[in-house]
Amino acid sequence: MTEVVVGIDIGGTNTAFGIVDHKGKCLIKNEIETRSQQPCNKFFDRLFSSLQEMFKDHEYQIKGIGIGAPNGNYYTGKIENPPNLKWGNVNLVEMVKKYYNVPIVVTNDANAAALGEMKFGAARKMKNFILITLGTGLGSGIVVNGELLYGHDGFAGELGHVIVEKNGRLCGCGRRGCLETYASATGIRRTAFEKLAEYDEDSLLRHISCAELTARTIYEFARKGDRIAIECFNYTGKILGEALADAVAYLSPEAIIIFGGLAKSGDLLLNPVREHYEKNVLNIFKNKVKIMTSQLKSDEAAILGAGALIWHEMNHRK
Amino acid sequence: MTEVVVGIDIGGTNTAFGIVDHKGKCLIKNEIETRSQQPCNKFFDRLFSSLQEMFKDHEYQIKGIGIGAPNGNYYTGKIENPPNLKWGNVNLVEMVKKYYNVPIVVTNDANAAALGEMKFGAARKMKNFILITLGTGLGSGIVVNGELLYGHDGFAGELGHVIVEKNGRLCGCGRRGCLETYASATGIRRTAFEKLAEYDEDSLLRHISCAELTARTIYEFARKGDRIAIECFNYTGKILGEALADAVAYLSPEAIIIFGGLAKSGDLLLNPVREHYEKNVLNIFKNKVKIMTSQLKSDEAAILGAGALIWHEMNHRK
């Protein structure tokens, strides 16, 4: 019997899950619709019956289950009113225990991604680093001394909600100027509108509908040399680089790892991030901190992260 | 024989040191001039001969030595070119080992102060908190999971050098807008000049020389009801409160403890800090994080901090 864990990444639309061995090999993986308008236990019924189906021809022993979920709280095992899931407060650990009576750990998706990089990806052998996910919003997982930083109540690492511009863009949290209103897939889209207003020159961006104007389109136009699209990446990188200079003053990490959809833009984003990070960071940190992208396959990264979470728990917290 | 440790707090002008028991009682204390223009070993000759003099009628067994020093690095045991000491790079652990062959630990003064509060002061039983020292500059010690956050190279916790105002006040570090150029004894003095320019009304501050215009004077005038002096505290509190809202998004602490000269201004500073902190913090943290002042006697706090550093080391890192 091969000892394995189950990694589950619950998203607002889809949920990815799979079987992960202790070397970070994703042996089986699948994806289902989350459908959070239905009760949470129905979701897990679907998930685990799909898992058992996948399982049946293999000799696996499930040692634990790791779950990455929006607003997942490591201390309580709950998800706490995530805006993109309709389940309210649910104790995932209690609920999943009814299916498999094994160790179960919950955290948010960015924290899970950080552990995935530490155990299987870009942060192997690192003990102090920051992971930034650039998706619809901006999430972060902070590792200090080889452990995730959860803080007093489990909500540490909200870098998306550091204020980078006083009286800046309105954020979903109700405040203004949060980092994620600039550095995220939705942030770069808002930047595009700003740049279209600021400059007068023609741009491929002027010839598409608002609905088509996505981070992906801006990326494609930038690759074609569109100056306003490139400027969108430069501005996003500037804001993110400046914010990371502050993050380093707090945490003195060995590296910062950029993860998620926007990270796939590569140097188009990373070059301005690095430039403005180095320009703004305190002297004692200059040329010390590596800024790099995730080293996990993007379709497995979230599953590996959730798997790493539970492997880490079982290995280090006995 | 009573088991004790030696706590040493090296400052640019004076050095305080003393004997601390495991309950945080400062049994003996003294202060000497640092005189860093002379070689470092001469300094320790003076310090330890004074210590032995104080010692001679007591039955103390020295179990360890803790040192708080500017730019003191926990990992290397060195002070690394602190601007207010002329010794350059010195390995304090190696040097002090020649006097007493016991466990010796070095860190910076803010980190030592944080451990002092955790073991003997306002942060007893806390595992996640931030200590802010408001002296000539702004220092910080961050405790995560009951341990100081040192980061990858020992320099974590530079909250004084987080940028709070783009293109703001010039800082000693060469950049602009660092938190400590606003929230510190020198920061509030700079604010006084700004406010004297901004407002036209009379103020006690207009009738003294620039040399007399210190944080202490501003405090005394504010206590007398001088409106511009009060405005200086309000502005300092606003900037600090906003910065602490960001700090909480990073770290999710149980409390923030304010320490050092300016902290003695009490509610004059703390009220605007709390107001602007609560106004700016992310919803999930509202009304959760205590903002309080140090609970150690000010003439012993630094010695107790250095003492706590080595007690902590010996108890938790065997």
pLDDT tens for each residue of A21-77 = 999 999 999 999 999 999 999 999 999 999 999 888 888 999 999 999 999 999 999
Q: Which residues, 6+ apart, have CB-to-CB distance to B81 below 8 Å?
A: B71, B88, B89
State which H helix or E strand residue A26 sits in.
Answer: strand A26-33
> Running DSSP on this structure, what letter comes out for residue A74?
T
**A150–B contact, CB cutoff 8 A:** yes
HEC string of B147-203?
A: EECCCCCCCCCCHHHCECCCCCCECCCCCECEHHHCCCHHHHHHHHHHHHHHCCCCC
Q: Do B246 and A284 touch (CB under 8 A)?
A: no
CA distance A26 to chain B (A): 30
B156 touches chain A (CB under 8 A): yes
A141 touching chain B per CB within 8 A: no
Q: Which of B138, B251, B288, B317 to mutate to test the interface with A (most CBs of A within 10 A)?
A: B251
Residues written for chain B: 318
The pLDDT value recorded for residue A255 is 98
Name every chain A residue with its beta carbon within 8 A of the beta carbon of B162.
246, 249-250
State the average pLDDT for chain B: 95
Please name the residues in contact with A128: beta carbons below 8 A apart, sequence gap of 6 or more.
A143, A144, A145, A251, A252, A253, A254, B151, B152, B156
What average pLDDT score do residues B264-290 get? 96
Is there a shared CATH topology between the B2-118+298-316 domain and the B125-293 domain? yes
pLDDT classification of A206: cutoffs 50, 70, 90: very high
Task: State how far residue B124 is from chain A, nearest Cα, in angstroms.
Answer: 14
Helix (H) or strand (E) holding B130: strand B129-134
In tens, the pLDDT along B17-30 reads: 999 999 999 999 99
Q: What is the pLDDT of residues B226-262, one digit of tens each?
A: 999 999 999 999 999 999 999 999 999 999 999 998 9
pLDDT for residue A299: 87
Looking at this protein, which amino acid is placed at residue B126? M
Q: Residues A2-118+298-316: name the CATH superfamily.
A: ATPase, nucleotide binding domain (3.30.420.40)
**Chain B residues closer than 8 Å to A288 by CB:** 152-153
pLDDT of residue A317: 63
CB contact under 8 Å between B151 and A252, yes or no, is yes
Q: Which of B129, B145, B282 sits opposite A161 (nearest CB)?
A: B282
Percent with pLDDT over 70 in chain A: 99
pLDDT tens sequence across B113-152: 999 999 999 999 999 999 999 998 999 999 999 999 999 9
The pair of structure tokens assigned to A27 is: 């042996």
| B251 closest CB neighbour out of A151, A161, A245 | A151
Sequence ranges of the domains in chain B: 2-118+298-316, 125-293
- Helices and strands: H and E segment counts in chain A: 8, 12
Nearest to B316 by CA among B188, B146, B106: B146
Q: CB A250 to CB B247 under 8 A? A: yes
Class of domain B125-293: alpha beta
